[in-house]
Amino acid sequence: MNPLSSWRQRLPSLPVLQWGRAYKRETLLSDSVAALIVTIMLIPQSLAYAMLAGLPPEVGLYASVAPLLLYAVFGTSRVLAVGPVAVVSLMTAAAIGQHAVAGTPEYWAVAITLAFLSGLLLLAMGLLRLGFLANFLSHPVISGFISASGILIAASQLKTLMGVKAEGHNFVDLGLSLLSQLGQVHVLTLAIGGVTVAFLFWVRSGLKPLLQGLGMKPRAADVVAKTGPVAAIAVTTLLTWGLDWQAQGVKIVGSVPQGLPPFTLPLWDLGLWQQLLVPALLISVVGFVESVSVGQTLAAKRRQRIEPDQELVALGSSNLSAAFTGGFPVTGGFARSVVNFDAGAQTPAAGVFTALGITLASLFLTPALYYLPQATLAATIVVAVLSLVDFSILRKTWHYAKSDFIAVLATLVATLTVGVETGLVVGVGVSLALYLYRTSRPHMAEVGLVAGTEHFRNVQRHSVVVSPRVLSLRVDESLYFANSRALEDRINNAVADRPGLEHVVLQCSAINDIDASALESLEAIDQRLRGAGVRLHLSEVKGPVMDRLKNTEFLHGLSGQVFLTHYQAIHELSPEVV
Amino acid sequence: MNPLSSWRQRLPSLPVLQWGRAYKRETLLSDSVAALIVTIMLIPQSLAYAMLAGLPPEVGLYASVAPLLLYAVFGTSRVLAVGPVAVVSLMTAAAIGQHAVAGTPEYWAVAITLAFLSGLLLLAMGLLRLGFLANFLSHPVISGFISASGILIAASQLKTLMGVKAEGHNFVDLGLSLLSQLGQVHVLTLAIGGVTVAFLFWVRSGLKPLLQGLGMKPRAADVVAKTGPVAAIAVTTLLTWGLDWQAQGVKIVGSVPQGLPPFTLPLWDLGLWQQLLVPALLISVVGFVESVSVGQTLAAKRRQRIEPDQELVALGSSNLSAAFTGGFPVTGGFARSVVNFDAGAQTPAAGVFTALGITLASLFLTPALYYLPQATLAATIVVAVLSLVDFSILRKTWHYAKSDFIAVLATLVATLTVGVETGLVVGVGVSLALYLYRTSRPHMAEVGLVAGTEHFRNVQRHSVVVSPRVLSLRVDESLYFANSRALEDRINNAVADRPGLEHVVLQCSAINDIDASALESLEAIDQRLRGAGVRLHLSEVKGPVMDRLKNTEFLHGLSGQVFLTHYQAIHELSPEVV
């Protein structure tokens, strides 16, 4: 490979060139139908998540235009639908809340800056191929975090559903704030919100079987059910207008400016950037993880492929475009991508058409939103996010692996009691610490020969033959600095306990790597054993490990031998037990 | 085991009860001889390391009495000699330098507080069985750190050897400071220092062969060579007194108070404690690692045993005792422990006798130190620490493992350019990050059947038989959250690339653990493969891994089977290649 082509391989690619060139008329139809359905679903979501982020509703529409176009150019998923999503909107609110007051122009400017920084970070991670960093967010930590975020989001919407004021970026503050307001509940608002919530839950669970019972195909019934929020918006808006509920104190969305997304710039304030850096990084990583897992699940169904590093570039471009068009941080959304897929989208052109639909909506539809009750939007959020809450991960990890359970619990508790950013950082920290702790205390078993075979098993679990002159030790972990001293301790103790010992044989079949610390430990072990008149042998060393050991003085100076199989070692060192 | 005995096992033990009860007259003699030799060696070291730490010389003597006694009670090594050591003294100077001016009573008070905190931390780590935390300091990082510290210590002594003033806690500051003072070099001081350095180097390398040539036994020659610093001190002190070098500007130690170690208390200042916490932790860990590795090496020679957690208790008690008797942070020293061992010490009673010797010295010997030139002490430090400097670790790790090389280099550079504390933190951080990076990109090989055998090998390295319908994949790493997505990517891509694929078989022989994230990834892989009409199978799953998988839904819902051997899998799934 010449240097030029190697360099070009590192440049971001343009997937649009692939699917765009091969675009056909049949695809146009299915993409358009999918786009129409996603647009209908995306309008209420955009308005609601903008409200969740503390921003005016039109900002949600702005954030659903340019990002979709940019993703269509750079993204590798055929069906991912990019835009505002619940968890990222919550994290946005938490991040901006420390710098500006919700509802002010400064607040919006900080949101734009946050999208800009998040875009830069994603783009940089993509160009530097740092996508693997997202892997350090473990599945249980993400599950715990998303469930806790769902609860926080639902709790944050209670104030709108109840028609009161409450503040707080964690469950404790929010809960106390809400409790103090219980006397001021606005009954009509609560009724609108409550009925909408009940209706939306029924749409989710009851409508689909009903439609299928009426002879509709399952997929079509699914799509119709997704229009539930739009119906709720239409009905409550009409009722509020017709019955003049605004005069009775129901809060409405009010006038939403008509027009194209504006051209905006982030704040050029290095001090602010520094303070927003960590939130922007966390938002980027969470958004990336959510987006890639949705994209991969859908791509696999059609045997297509997602390139995680290219996805970073695509999401980075999307967020940068959001920053320049009055939006806020976006990522690929789960529900709307599934709808896009189910409705038959074939290429990212469906995203382009969706962007067109949202543009039309923000040009012509906004006056119709004037009488939309805020409680209706809050109800759509509550119903959407409660499906994210799933505590089965606690039960699952409790039974499967306690260390994962601890990581989930720490994430949940920290997110609910302190906030989203702390929750994520604690989750990553705890899971890394537990992983290191586990690998630093590897499972080591003294093994013995199963009589009449060439197999070796743990002496504590099986009835096996051993010689008092030979210690056979199997280590079930790669040897590295954090666990090499554990091996030293184990062997030192064994030698101190067994006066008749002459040979120690390490069965290395489960050792995938030996780092320099472990090599020094092996040298020290060999030297100490030699001082005590005991020889050290190895058996079943893996190819790649052996390749590296061959270049070292350790193998040349080793007091014992390296055996291909453990049986050969025992056969030679203690023929009496074979 | 009843709860009481389990609880008692967690209490620190008193090794003195073991060796003290069995004490015999023969042991008394060999312990006394060893103690005499160690005392002669320890006096100049104590004075010099106190000077290195920026403390008056008598503090070095104080720090060599009570800690030896406490270690004799709690320590598990028979021969470890506790007291001031070079690297810990350097770290002490760096830590206190931020809070007080060297030579003032405040400085000494902070040193006492540092010893107190370090003692508390060590004791807590011992009682909580946290000794394994020290394992996260990898061998290469320790090597790099000790070499860099050796250079820093030698550079810090140049000012005393040259008779000038210079400041700085890293190599850059120290070097610039020294360069600006080159014009003020005091020639007679430099001559005393230079000749002493040359003499001490000759004692190390030339005297021993000479003595052996004269018929002395190697061990005795070794012991005589260790008295070199005492000879240098005696001769230069006599010359300074006799030729009145003090009048010519040679700096001397001056009056050292005669008497027993004083009773002192740490400063009860929570703000100061908070600031000293990190330095104290680093000093504790470095001291513990140095002490335990010396102890283990010597114990192994006599098939004795070191209990790391009990060592923490012993070193913690030693440091606490140093804090209450006017000392500063101490740990087990390498050179003096080896001398103690070689001179025939049998039990920690040798340490008790050494403490007695140092007490006598601080009662009666201090007036004789009045005319001792400071340059002589600096020379003994320089010669002692230059033996710590060993850059062969750079070459060794470069050839063996690049990630270890990077960790050493980062530690070296950070220690020399910023300082000891930053150096250590950077070293630990870099080596952990590289370990996680490595395990997050595990080695995965597609394997095929070696014709005519039941063995499977990497298709890229060997000529093997494969079926286009079956993908055999071997993962050489435990599966956990940081690498489970890499497996997903690999399998997704393989499925996208091979339209005829029907089966994926994971050979799990090198997988020592599967955490909850990896389990979810396997479930996701299975689901996606199923969507694409491909079945997932496992082979050669280890016992402990299988035990845990058995309790999960994954195995029950798996689209494929679990095979005992990979050969069985291929035999059943693609009999045409067998």
Residue B473 has pLDDT above 80, yes or no: yes
List of residues 6+ apart from B247 with CB closer than 8 A: none
CA distance B316 to B322: 10
pLDDT for the residue B456? 87
Phi, psi (5° rounding) for residue B79? Answer: -130, 0
State mean pLDDT over B395-402.
89
pLDDT for the residue A3? 47
Q: Give tens-digit pLDDT for A402-420.
A: 899 999 999 999 999 998 8
Q: Where are the domains of chain B?
A: 13-19+26-254+268-367+375-425, 444-577
Q: Which residues of B touch A524 (CB under 8 A)?
A: 296-297
B289 closest CA partner among B471, B395, B145: B145
pLDDT band at B11 (very low <50, low <70, confident <90, very high): low
Nearest CB among B443, B512, B520 relative to A544 is that of B443
Q: Which residues of A touch B305 (CB under 8 A)?
A: 492-493, 496
Q: Give tens-digit pLDDT for A332-358.
A: 988 888 888 888 888 999 999 999 999
In residues, how long is chain B? 578
Q: Give tens-digit pLDDT for A108-135.
A: 999 999 999 999 999 999 999 888 887 8
Q: Give tens-digit pLDDT for A218-243.
A: 877 877 777 788 889 999 999 999 99
pLDDT for the residue B3? 47
Residue A181 has pLDDT above 90, yes or no: no
CA distance A82 to A569: 60
Residue pair A343/A38 in contact by the 8 Å Cβ criterion: yes
Closest-CA residue of chain B to A501: B303
Which SS3 state, helix, strand or coil, does residue A409 take?
Answer: helix
| Least confident span in B91-95, B129-133, B369-373 | B129-133
State mean pLDDT over B262-291.
93
Interchain contact, A515 vs B403, CB within 8 Å: yes
| Least confident span in B294-303, B383-392, B505-514 | B294-303
CA distance A462 to A527: 32
Query: Among A144-158, A316-330, B336-350, which range has the highest average pLDDT?
Result: A316-330
State mean pLDDT over B77-83.
92
State mean pLDDT over A176-203.
90
pLDDT for the residue A1? 40
Q: Which residues of A touch B431 (CB under 8 A)?
A: 481
pLDDT band at B322 (very low <50, low <70, confident <90, very high): very high
Interchain contact, B544 vs A476, CB within 8 Å: yes
pLDDT for the residue B1? 39
List of residues 6+ apart from B8 with CB closer than 8 A: none
Which SS3 state, helix, strand or coil, does residue B83 take?
Answer: strand
Interface test with A, best of B76, B136, B138 (most A CBs within 10 A): B138
Interchain contact, B482 vs A528, CB within 8 Å: no
Residue A11 has pLDDT above 70, yes or no: no
Residue B4 has pLDDT above 70, yes or no: no
Nearest CB among A404, A493, A520 relative to B139 is that of A520
pLDDT for the residue A543? 82
Phi, psi (5° rounding) for residue A84? Answer: -70, 135
State mean pLDDT over A485-496.
86
B128 closest CA partner among B2, B279, B277, B11: B11
Interchain contact, A510 vs B513, CB within 8 Å: no
| Least confident span in A3-17, A155-169, B543-557 | A3-17
Nearest CB among B136, B440, B484 relative to A482 is that of B136
Where helices occur in B325-467 by DSSP H, the ranges are: 334-342, 349-364, 374-386, 392-400, 402-417, 420-440
**Average pLDDT of chain B?**
88
A22 closest CA partner among A342, A310, A346: A346
Size of interface A-B (CB pairs under 8 A): 195
pLDDT for the residue A65? 95
Interchain contact, B443 vs A552, CB within 8 Å: no
Residue B331 has pLDDT above 70, yes or no: yes
Residue pair B308/A489 in contact by the 8 Å Cβ criterion: yes
Q: Look-up: residue for tokens 């490979």?
A: A1
B37 closest CA partner among B274, B303, B223: B223
Q: Give tens-digit pLDDT for B410-419.
A: 999 999 999 8
Q: Which residues of A touch B138 (CB under 8 A)?
A: 480-482, 515-517
State mean pLDDT over A45-63.
92
Where helices occur in A480-565 by DSSP H, the ranges are: 481-497, 516-531, 543-550, 553-557
pLDDT for the residue B85? 93
pLDDT band at A12 (very low <50, low <70, confident <90, very high): low
Residue B337 has pLDDT above 60, yes or no: yes
Residue A256 has pLDDT above 90, yes or no: no
State mean pLDDT over B485-493.
87
Q: Which residues of A touch B440 (CB under 8 A)?
A: 132, 135-136
Closest-CA residue of chain A to B528: A300
State mean pLDDT over A143-165.
88
HSE-CB of A164 using CA atoms within 13 angstroms: 21
**Average pLDDT of chain A?**
88
List C-alpha distances in Å: B237 to B95, B250, B371, B384: 32, 11, 5, 20
State the pTM of this model: 0.80
ipTM value for the complex: 0.77
Interchain contact, B400 vs A485, CB within 8 Å: no
Torsion over CA: B121, B122, B128, B129 (sign): positive
Residue pair A381/A163 in contact by the 8 Å Cβ criterion: no
CA distance B531 to A233: 36
A79 closest CA partner among A65, A67, A63, A68: A68
Q: How far is A505 from chain B (nearest CA, A)?
A: 18
Nearest CB among B396, B404, B483 relative to A515 is that of B404
Hey, what CATH topology would domain A444-577 get? Transcription Regulator spoIIAA (3.30.750)
A137 closest CA partner among A262, A282, A244: A282
Which SS3 state, helix, strand or coil, does residue B268 take?
Answer: coil
Q: Give tens-digit pLDDT for B200-211.
A: 999 888 888 888
pLDDT for the residue B12? 57
Q: Which residues of A touch B435 (CB under 8 A)?
A: 480-482, 515
